[in-house]
Every structure is written in structure tokens, then in C-alpha cells.
Structure 1
Amino acid sequence: MTQRPTLPFTLDEQLCFALYSTSLAMTKVYKPLLDKLGLTYPQYLAMLVLWESDDLTVKDIAGRLNLDSATVTPLLKRLEAQGYIERMRGTEDERLVYIRLTRSGTTLKRSAREVPAELFCAAQRTPDFLMRLRDDLTALRGTLHEYLDK
């Protein structure tokens, strides 16, 4: 570990607040875009996972979203009620629940394709800046997970 610097202690100077308040602003930008699709932000994230790789277990989806299965299960039930996914018990291990896209869930992907472009417009930053920011945040998340796993 490096030497601990003396850091300012006001709210606006805190990294955690910058991340938190930016995340809130981000989800507010997403809300009207996702309302058109009939999805909440967490549902959208789950659908992104399934659009990348269909036929996953609840545990796989939860892991991909950095959430626990108990948090993911209710939102998957709502997606099932909307007709976007189906939940199937494993045949070899009934404790496993597999999630598969329905035809409507697959079709929804086409409607959702414009969401990232809208976000880029709202951010008013270059794609290079935003990709660099994403990469930096991903690296920070990894470092924090390593710290927590000690």
C-alpha cells in the first residue's frame, strides 16, 4: 500500500460522492429511455446480460451484475411476467434455475439498441473519453473487490 495522503474531507471533494451522485444522474437519464421499453434500470442490466449470453442460471446473472441471487430473483420474476424471459428448473439439479429469453425478449433487444447512443448524446463527451472513463471505473472496481477479498 502507498503512503496515505492527507485528503480534503468536504462532501464535494469525496470520490464516493462523485461516483454516487453521477450514478444517480446516469439512472435518471436512462429512466425515460427505459420507460419506453417498459424496463427498470436493473431489469435493463439483466436483459443486457441475457442478450450477451442466453440460457444462464440465476446465479450466473447475479454474479455478472455483482448482486446476490436474492436481489436478482424478484426482478427476473417481473421480466417473466412481462413475457421477456422464462425460468426453467434444471433437469439434473433442480436447485438451479435457468433463465432463457423468449421471442419477445429477443425482439426487445432491437428496440433497446438506441439506448447507448442516447446516453452518449446526453453525456456530451467524446466516445474516447467515455470509454476511458469506463475502463478506469472497471479497473477501480476490480481493485476494490481485491481489497474486499483480502
Structure 2
Amino acid sequence: MSVYEYSAMTIKGEEVPLEQYKGNVLLIVNTATNCGFAPQFDGLQELYEFYKDKGLTVLGFPSNQFMNQEPRSESEIDQHCKLNYGVDFPMFSKVDVKGPNIHPLFQYLTENAPGVLTKQVKWNFTKFLVDASGHVVNRYAPQTKPEQMKEDIEKLLSHT
């Protein structure tokens, strides 16, 4: 199994097989525009801009499961992220990242990179680093800033 077995709906409403990212290192993040960690969109965009030509793709998955911090519609999320943070990495429709309706991708991610004390995502901006073969290699806490992941990203990119 790998992330390539899954598909997801883009923020524009198109079903996309994650297999289209095969061969890329992926940074998959559950996001929320009203979260205190939302300024990390800037750092995620910087990582994407710096490494996208080297094989990194950042994938943003909004979720409204933590204190109603993503109440916006998909079009509002898309506009907010572009206007406030210059986001042009792929963004997807809102998903559940925990609980009975967890998106299958996040079920896979949390099973293969369990957190401390629990497998489930505990808050917005939990990040999963996936190698070019589609396997989860690391999970980062919401407090981990995007720039703190550069070394791990570079290691994976050097093996692609």
C-alpha cells in the first residue's frame, strides 16, 4: 500500500488520483484558515516554491474538525489562501482527518505514522512527509514549522 492507492477531491471539485504525484516527495498537511497555526501557510508555500522543481509537492487538506477553525466554503478557502498567503500548491476539499468519517488517505497516513499517545490527528497543521514511492516516512506536530522540515525533505529529494 501507498498514498497512490487513494484519490481526493480538489478544492475545485475534481476527483484526482494521488498516483498523479508518483515520483514526487509529498508533504500532506491538514489545514484550517482560522487556526493559530495558519501563518504556516507562508512557510508551506516557501517550501513548495523552493523545492517544487526538485520534486516536492505540498498537498493541503482543509478540515473543520478542531474547534470549527475551518468554517469557510471551498471557494472561500481557496480565495483566502491565495490572497493572504499566496498559496498555489494543490489544495483539496474539506475532509475528516479523524473519527468515523475519516478520509481513507488520512486513515492510511495515521496508521503508518502514528502520533504520540494516539494514531489520530490531534490538531490542524499535522504534517506527513511521504517519499517518492508513496510511503509515509515522518509525521510532524502542528507546532513544527515548515522550515524545520527542510533537512528531512532534502534527504528524500536526494534519493529520487
Q: Same fold judged by TM-score > 0.5?
A: no
Structure (1 or 2) with the greater strand fraction: 2
Of structures 1 and 2, the one scoring higher in RCO (CA 8 A, sep 6+) is: 2
Normalising by structure 2, we get a TM-score of 0.30
